[in-house]
Structure 1
């Protein structure tokens, strides 16, 4: 790797020399993309170097600064640099506890901010799934913080009304799928208890058969199925709980009198069939008894769909 020296004992990739010599974190523009001190070329070089930044201070600062690129309409910067870099550092245990807290809290703020282009919120949710994963692997949140994260994730998934998926020029806006990924990481966390799991199921039901009657075409039902499988794997809910949840889903399609004569009814039926089929197929292939037990209630729900 090509390196450059900025002061004694501190080595950095040449791509980040300008970044490292700038003023402290608090003085930088929050939404600059590329971050001040970098450009698209230097960030691409960093990617080619597998996002290796040996200097911890620079790596942690850059992780925060790259959040501004999550709203970029350029998928190379948004997906290929910001998301991939932060994920690599989180999965490689390369970010300090204070940085993880800052990422989490700034991403919560991003979820509440205006997002006219529709990129920031879905990618905030996706990075939050990686933050949630770090707490699952090596717990660092307090119980209250963990419950608060579930509340944020549930509120986000329920709130998604922008159902745009893939665009040939601008890449992905995948709000439902990214929210589902966030819930999946939370569902895998053994520290969460039944009330949080039930709250997640409520949000999943809301998007498995969305009231807006959007017909999914970008694989959302399969992504929504994943957290359901891992909630089942926890073994917290009884068979009767699962039967009640699955049998409640067909009611979301709408009035039976509109069957096959209303476009919204047909779209909801399409989404529910895709979701239940995804759950059934995954459960059928699973070796886990708790997950496999979802086959029966999924079939019951399928049978009562008109």
Structure 2
């Protein structure tokens, strides 16, 4: 067990980072969410570049961890590392394998506390979305894959807001063409067009709500918060608004 009273004020030595990183896997929500995560997030700016890369390598491996809380808390700290400028293509590759494939989408568990795979993954998606080493078009496609993945779970803890925000931030990238800014929506439109009468599948409900958030941000601009605090317009905001509205209208004609 970690002596949290001592480590909270300690310098981020390799031994301390390793111990707190291990605690990020803990099934105890207090140890994991209230102690390990805030401490690692605070330490990230203090780590030297080699230590950041080593921590990122360790966390990227957790996307294949058998424990759900280990998989879903790795992206939170990875997001902080990418924001701080650390990046490896293999981190993105590991994330891309995990994010649309994760089936345990519970926001909250009475024993484990917050799990929040979709929301925590969206936080990492938005960090990759602003990093010059990551292809924004591929990240938009990854977001669409997460939306369309089969699930029996209707998101109930603002996952749609977090993923809509991540997609909107990615859509601010200057190098995006107008075509790439909307092409990722084609599989969503095709899936909606193939829908059959009857109860709305959970994935469709999740997708509709996420796209409504995206429409709002395309209209109003995005406030990244951790950067300059200003409002960023989407690179091709008008085209995104029009295409999102058209996609929404496939499933909800009143939206068109």
C-alpha displacement of 1:275: 1.0
SS at match of 1:180: helix
Paired residues for 1:23-62 under 5 Å: 34-35=1-2, 38=3, 43=4, 45=5, 51-53=8-10, 55=11, 57=13, 60-62=14-16
Is 1:150 paired with 2:92? yes
For 2:105 and 2:20, locate their aligned partners in 1 and report how far apart those are by CA, in whole Å: 25
C-alpha displacement of 1:254: 7.0
Paired residues for 1:30-179 under 5 Å: 34-35=1-2, 38=3, 43=4, 45=5, 51-53=8-10, 55=11, 57=13, 60-90=14-44, 93-115=45-67, 118-135=68-85, 141=87, 145=88, 147-179=89-121
Is 1:297 paired with 2:236? no
SS at match of 1:159: coil
For 2:182 and 2:164, locate their aligned partners in 1 and report how far apart those are by CA, in whole Å: 16
RMSD of aligned residue pairs (Cα, Å): 2.2
C-alpha displacement of 1:89: 0.7
TM-score by length of 2: 0.84
For 1:56 and 1:246, locate their aligned partners in 2 and report how far apart those are by CA, in whole Å: 43
Equivalent in the alignment of 1:185? 127
Per the alignment, do residues 80 and 240 of structure 1 end up closer, same or farther by CA in structure 2, a change over 3 Å counting? same
SS at match of 2:175: coil
C-alpha displacement of 1:298: 1.2
Runs of 4+ in 1 over 3 A off after TM superposition: 253-256
1:208–1:224 CA contact under 8 A, matched in 2: no
TM-score by length of 1: 0.71
2:96–2:142 CA contact under 8 A, matched in 1: yes
Equivalent in the alignment of 1:3? none
Gaps of 5+ in 1: 1-33
> How many residues of Structure 1 are paired with residues of Structure 2 in the alignment?
241
